[in-house]
Amino acid sequence: MTITATPAEVRPARRAARTALLAIITLPALVWAVVRLFGWERGYFVPAIAFTPYVAAWSVIPLVISLWARKWLIAAAAAVAFLVLAVCVLPRAVPDADRGPSRGMPMTVMTINMYVGAADPASIVRLVRDNDVAVLAVQEFSPAAKDGLAAAGIDTLLPYQALADEVGTTGSGLYSRFPMTGQGSRRGGGGNLQEGNLQAYATIQPPGAVALNVQSAHPLAPYTLGALGDWRMDLRNEPHANPRGTPEILLGDFNSTLDHKPVRDLIGSGYRDAADATGKGLSATWGPWGGHKIPPVTLDHVLVDKRIGVRDVHAHAVTGSDHRALLASLTVPTS
């Protein structure tokens, strides 16, 4: 019987190769954690950073392997990556102790991206009716979508409207049970008619409660490197919360997740993200769609002034749309 042993000079080479491989699989999570922590997303990292929750889950793997292999330096780097990403992501799954005032007028709001107007109007109106929705924001709102919602009965439920329908993906609208003033819309994307999304807005006056400035938010998507500047500008130009002014509600498709620094900066002006506040901040609202194997992410948000309380949030599938409808139960201060 012949026994073949691995030559002594080969064993160190294999160990070095295994160490190098472990370092290689650890490095991306560490880089990702640093970029996310300091808000340094640039270039192709901007759309990629939306998938941070998946990277956070994956970062456990190099940590476990490096600990098992007793590669302590690599394990330390993997632990830093895992801890940073966990701190950034996991709080979204835990309800906040402070969700704002619990006393006041209850009001439910809803937002839905209608996917170039293709979402089923009857499904949307059914959600409005069944959930006692008082304010509805729509994006990618086309003339056909406007007619479809009207035919499905939206005017009876929400008769006050600020509509900026447009062929394609740029239209926007607001529907309300309560009277509106100051209706209008503004175009983002640097005002580029070919690319900028319209964002409908109005001041809404619920009976017995304070007036509310409401906007159907739809910043430009960071779909190309050339669009990144307008994406940042759109988010920077969203109305900031003003504790001495009229309370603001921004709801819509922000084309961003809570891992994007411009959205965190906007929230930092005095908003709370309703889903995050209720421990549902990891509930995906977009994708996959059309056979594209893209992990779902949370692009739709309801941002409310901190003077407004958040009671609950739910997401619902809508036939014909690549987004889910997001509903938030709020408590509005009485007048």
Q: What's the pLDDT tens digit per position in 124-133?
A: 999 999 999 9
> Is the bond leading into 288 cis (omega within 30 degrees of zero)?
yes
How far apart (Å, rounded) are the C-alpha atoms in residues 279 and 281? 6
How far apart (Å, rounded) are the C-alpha atoms in residues 37 and 191? 31
pLDDT at site 193 = 52
- CB–CB of 116/168 below 8 Å? yes
What's the whole-number mean pLDDT along residues 195-206? 95
C-alpha pair distances (Å), 39 with each of 177, 202, 254, 264, 319: 39, 32, 17, 9, 35
How far apart (Å, rounded) are the C-alpha atoms in residues 303 and 301? 6
Asked whether residue 114 carries a pLDDT value surpassing 80, the answer given is yes
C-alpha pair distances (Å), 93 with each of 183, 260, 276: 36, 17, 7
Q: How confident is the model at residue 52 (pLDDT cuts 50, 70, 90)?
A: very high
Residue partners of 217: CB distance under 8 A and separation at least 6: 137, 139, 199, 238, 250, 251, 252, 253, 254, 301, 303
Q: How confident is the model at residue 14 (pLDDT cuts 50, 70, 90)?
A: confident
Instruction: Report phi then psi at 260, rounded to 5.
Output: -95, 125
75 secondary structure, DSSP code: H
How far apart (Å, rounded) are the C-alpha atoms in residues 73 and 70? 9
Structure tokens that stand for 255 in this block: 């084309």
Sheet with 309-317: list strands edge to edge.
160-164, 172-176, 133-139, 105-113, 324-332, 309-317
- CB–CB of 309/302 below 8 Å? no
C-beta atoms surrounding 94 within 10 Å = 11
Asked whether residue 194 carries a pLDDT value surpassing 80, the answer given is no
Round the average pLDDT of the chain to a whole number and report it. 93
- CB–CB of 36/52 below 8 Å? yes
- CB–CB of 332/209 below 8 Å? yes
238 secondary structure, DSSP code: S
Q: How confident is the model at residue 8 (pLDDT cuts 50, 70, 90)?
A: low
Q: How confident is the model at residue 42 (pLDDT cuts 50, 70, 90)?
A: very high
Centroid of chain to Cα 209: 28
Domains of the chain: 10-93 (no CATH), 105-332 (3.60.10.10)
What's the whole-number mean pLDDT along residues 317-325? 96
Tens-place pLDDT, residues 262-281:
999 999 999 999 999 999 99
pTM for this predicted structure: 0.93
Asked whether residue 7 carries a pLDDT value surpassing 70, the answer given is no
What's the whole-number mean pLDDT along residues 247-260? 98
Asked whether residue 257 carries a pLDDT value surpassing 70, the answer given is yes
